A and B are shown apart, each in its own frame.
Chain A
Amino acid sequence: KNQVEQSPQSLIILEGKNCTLQCNYTVSPFSNLRWYKQDTGRGPVSLTIMTFSENTKSNGRYTATLDADTKQSSLHITASQLSDSASYICVGPRGNNRLAFGKGNQVVVIP
């Protein structure tokens, strides 16, 4: 069972609109949760990394939230731009020096 589940799998949004991506994780013990942005054919770029004590973290137009009780995280994109079209991946350490990757939220921003 994948320890990181993301939804929706894909979405299309109009330029300038906001959207929210969801991540449910079951990795244990929890140490941190990360969001990465990956453009097609490129390596993932870190957006945020959140520890147990943090429930909100922003990076420009990206804001991540974390609810450690429900083991849910969200990534909110404000005033989307065409360059936001990418896959957004939720990632958490899962022990044995390995990472658990979600399958990603594929976002397409249209003019």
Chain B
Amino acid sequence: DTEVTQTPKHLVMGMTNKKSLKCEQHMGHRAMYWYKQKAKKPPELMFVYSYEKLSINESVPSRFSPECPNSSLLNLHLHALQPEDSALYLCASSQDRVDTEAFFGQGTRLTVV
């Protein structure tokens, strides 16, 4: 099983809403990642969790709050987003470090209205 599962697939939220994106993998990977991708652009790294600890935060605004409840799950909590935050949010996992093969989920298409 090389699957990374993201839910929901699509999300529309208002600027005052609170929502969460979820990501799950059962490959025993110990590194998990959140990326943001705008149309026709490469993914941009947001956060990296390594062994359930936040190891990288790419200066992401605090309206995005990551959480890693256990080694299989990764959440991204959203609050008071702006329309420019609309994008495809990708979760990925790899065995432990980024130089091992990374597997991506199918993404959550987020629209902020």
Question: Which residues on A are within 8 Å of B, measured CB to CB?
Answer: 31-32, 34, 36, 41-46, 49, 89, 93, 96-99, 101-104, 106
Cβ proximity bits B13-47 to A, threshold 8 Å, 1 near / 0 not: 00000000000000000010000000011110100
- How many Å from the CB of B22 to the closest CB on chain A? 14
Cβ proximity bits B85-113 to A, threshold 8 Å, 1 near / 0 not: 00010100000011101111111010000
- How many Å from the CB of B34 to the closest CB on chain A? 12
B74 contacts the other chain (CB 8 A)? no
Chain B residues contacting A106 (CB-CB under 8 Å) are: 40
A41 and B88 within 8 A (CB)? yes
Closest partner residue, chain B, to A106 (CB atom) = B40
Q: In whole angstroms, how far apart are the Cα atoms of A44 and B35 in the complex?
A: 11
B55 contacts the other chain (CB 8 A)? yes
Question: Which residues on B are within 8 Å of A, measured CB to CB?
Answer: 4, 6, 31, 40-43, 45, 48, 50, 55-56, 88, 90, 97-99, 101-107, 109
Closest partner residue, chain B, to A32 (CB atom) = B99
B107 and A97 within 8 A (CB)? no
Closest partner residue, chain B, to A6 (CB atom) = B42
CB contact under 8 A between A99 and B107, given known A41-B88, A43-B90, A104-B42: no
Closest partner residue, chain B, to A92 (CB atom) = B99
A102 and B103 within 8 A (CB)? no
Closest partner residue, chain B, to A48 (CB atom) = B101
Q: In whole angstroms, how far apart are the Cα atoms of A94 and B36 in the complex?
A: 18
B107 and A31 within 8 A (CB)? no
